[in-house]
Structure 1
Amino acid sequence: MTAHDLGLRHLCCGILTHPLGLHCVVPTDQMLPDGSVRGSRFLDGLTCAVEHGATFFDTADSYGYGHSERVLGQFARQRPDLALQLSSKVGQIRGSAEHPYAGRHIHHQLEQTLENLYAEELHLYTLDSFDFGPGDRYLGNAIDAMRTLRDVKAIRAIGMRGPFTHYAASPEAWAAQAQRFLYLFRLIKPDVVWTRFNAFTPAVSLEDQDLFTFAARHGVGLVLAAPLAHGVLIGREAERSSPHEAAHPRHAGLMPSLRDRVDEQLHVLRRHFGDTPGTLARLALRSSLQRGDQCVVVAGFSTAGQVEENFSCLGDPLTELELGLVDDVYGGLRAQVQEATSNSPVRELQP
């Protein structure tokens, strides 16, 4: 870790961006049957973000089967003066193809994504799944397709998913994910790794290094998603004065019985840092932003108020002592999850 300011960062070659961006998933309650957006809440959030300097907008063709891409494209059409840096993903939607990575399906999905986003190129295009068919049958095809798209400048950077499984999966399951990631990483040679990262994400060992040291050593950028763990890390602050809605524990990948334990741990942070609105959001966002200069954080939202709080609460960088305290509390949260689920089916903790 070096500088922790909020100036522009080099995510990778060709992408210089504000370190806090948006994870653009249009909530289902804002979608109409024809795929249009109910009202302007989501578009207002996008507007609020660019007013705060945001440049990086992350989505996927699988978010509402293209709905989120189309809403972001609608915003881009309304603001042609903006130089948006657009990120999307491929690998979840098969359509009529044999596999999401088969044949020219990646090319076809990119064409649709560019049309949805009203764009001529993508800054980042991410392989959104580790599933490359039986025996990795379509892995070579996917790699060739992505490199061709980068060569012809249809995309600027190739991304791949980071290692991830259920938050409360066994250490063996996480180790298996890490090994699978390393195998694919060496073949794909991505420019960027896109991964969920928050207090509940266990550390994984990659060539005897953590993800951030590994990425820096290989010159790879990181996009960190779900920094607030779907609102769980702002605790019951969301029920009082924060514009963030309190997440249902199951939606965040946690059993309901863990909610009280989580709030007990977060109370430690409130006692030290204060209980003003935005404090817990600041700690969660800052602890992600300060992991390294090559990291860009994308936070989800459903209202402009949430975007306003996320960008306004950041304040000064956390000191090393403060980061240590946050890491200790977050470590306690992970321990609570492991303890509570040691005798429970992992299927109840879907991320």
Structure 2
Amino acid sequence: MQYRELGRTGWKVSTVSFGAWAIGGTWGPTDDAASMAALHKALDLGVNFFDTADVYGDGHSERLLARLKKERPGDNFYIATKAGRRLNPHTAEGYLDLRSFVERSLQNLQTDTIDLLQLHCPPTTAFYMPEVFDGLDRLVKEGKLRHYGVSVEKVEEAIKALDFPGVQSVQIIFNLFRQRAAEVFLPLAQARKVGILARLPLSSGMLSGKLTATSTFAEDDHRHFNRDGAGFDKGETFSGLPYDAGLAAVERIRPLVPAGMSMAQLALRWILMNPAVTCTIPGGKRPDQVADNVAAADLPELSPALMAQLAEIYASGVKPYVHTRW
């Protein structure tokens, strides 16, 4: 495992960490025994950073991570959670006071202080409300939070978040199918020493190379119900790329995967080629998935020729669908 510094926190976190959305919900059926085995496997392999949210299974994934803390008392690791998506209605003004959500997450995580709290994809106008970030500063001073950051949908939101000095991290969709952040945001974040958590690194499983035109998904799986944004931002599902276009791009990538490397590992290693990225946070419902993901951290750098080929696939087969939308 490799480690990189997260913002100005002083933490060094595993470059391949663990995203806990899938073990919470909206990814089809979950099995707590398998989920816990996956979490333990992550720790065994050197993962020390876990990303969750209060809305994943209505707090279920937070509670699983609290259980992990109890079962592995000798292991030091960080838990980042998110707040705001439980607001109803989901308005920018709701982010002015997240105290009740923070208190609930503290209870779910069975802790007195949250390591890293992230605003959970608030409406764009929230980034133009300094009072939102003043509220987070107060929670830090009170000892409820160690640090805070943001999770965003749009590159412009990520750039605006850099205006607030307390922001230690930005979580953003960055993968082979969503590359705009590398052009206009990642260099700015790196210069200001803000950590980057690359989320949805496998584009909802599309970049595993295992999906086909006949793949089906459970009704409660966002890959079934959110392709057009019926549940939340459509960019969260397959990176906003039409399913057929995603499959076509995968078939162009498939023959380029180096020997001894899975397509998922190639996708993760591509993300880590950018030095501005602190870590990527793939999910894993089973220990074998976690092991495959984590192995990407120690793979050699991708060659310039391969990087150029992957860039061309994005430019011709993906960019027209997503680049200007997010």
TM-score, normalised to structure 2, is 0.79
Contact 1:287–1:323 (8 Å) recurs in 2: no
- Structure 1 counterpart of 2:191, one-letter code: R
Map Cα deviations across residues 144-186 of structure 1 (whole Å, 9 max, x no partner): 111112223322222023452xxxxxxxxxxxx52x4433431
2:196 and 2:88 map into 1 onto residues whose CA distance is 29
2:105 and 2:175 map into 1 onto residues whose CA distance is 28
- Structure 2 counterpart of 1:231, one-letter code: G
Question: Which residue pairs with 1:198 in the alignment?
Answer: 175
Contact 1:268–1:329 (8 Å) recurs in 2: no
Task: Report the 3-state secondary structure (helix = DSSP H, G, I; strand = E; otherwise coil) of the residue aligned with 2:180.
Answer: coil
Map Cα deviations across residues 181-240 of structure 1 (whole Å, 9 max, x no partner): 4334314651111111101113148xxx6322111111111111111112211214x78x
Map Cα deviations across residues 231-255 of structure 1 (whole Å, 9 max, x no partner): 211214x78xxxxxxx969542432
1:40 to 1:332, Cα distance in 2 relative to 1, 3 A: same
- Structure 2 counterpart of 1:111, one-letter code: E
- Report how many residues are paired: 301
1:192 and 1:142 map into 2 onto residues whose CA distance is 16
Q: Are 2:22 and 1:21 aligned?
A: no
Q: Are 2:78 and 1:85 aligned?
A: yes
Matches within 5 A, 1:13-52: 13-25=9-21, 26=23, 28=25, 38-52=31-45
| Unmatched 5+ stretches in structure 2 | 213-221, 228-236
Structure 1 residue 338: deviation in Å?
A: 4.4
Which structure's CA Rg is the greater one? 1
- State the identity %: 22
Q: Are 2:299 and 1:316 aligned?
A: yes
- Structure 2 counterpart of 1:195, one-letter code: I
Instruction: Extract structure 1 runs of 4+ deviating beyond 4 A.
Output: 29-32, 95-99, 247-251, 338-342
2:247 and 2:19 map into 1 onto residues whose CA distance is 28
1:307 to 1:14, Cα distance in 2 relative to 1, 3 A: same
Task: Report the 3-state secondary structure (helix = DSSP H, G, I; strand = E; otherwise coil) of the residue aligned with 1:64.
Answer: coil
Q: Are 2:130 and 1:153 aligned?
A: no
Contact 1:57–1:85 (8 Å) recurs in 2: yes
- Structure 2 counterpart of 1:261, one-letter code: A
- Identify the match of residue 306 of structure 2 among 310, 325, 330: 325
2:322 and 2:113 map into 1 onto residues whose CA distance is 44
TM-score, normalised to structure 1, is 0.74
Question: Which residue pairs with 1:220 in the alignment?
Answer: 194
1:210 and 1:201 map into 2 onto residues whose CA distance is 13
Structure 1 residue 264: deviation in Å?
A: 2.7
| Unmatched 5+ stretches in structure 1 | 1-5, 165-176, 240-246
- Structure 1 counterpart of 2:6, one-letter code: L
2:82 and 2:312 map into 1 onto residues whose CA distance is 30
Contact 1:101–1:138 (8 Å) recurs in 2: no
1:267 and 1:324 map into 2 onto residues whose CA distance is 15
Matches within 5 A, 1:193-342: 193-204=170-181, 210-236=184-210, 250=227, 251-252=237-238, 253-270=240-257, 273-274=258-259, 276=260, 278-292=261-275, 295-319=278-302, 322-339=303-320
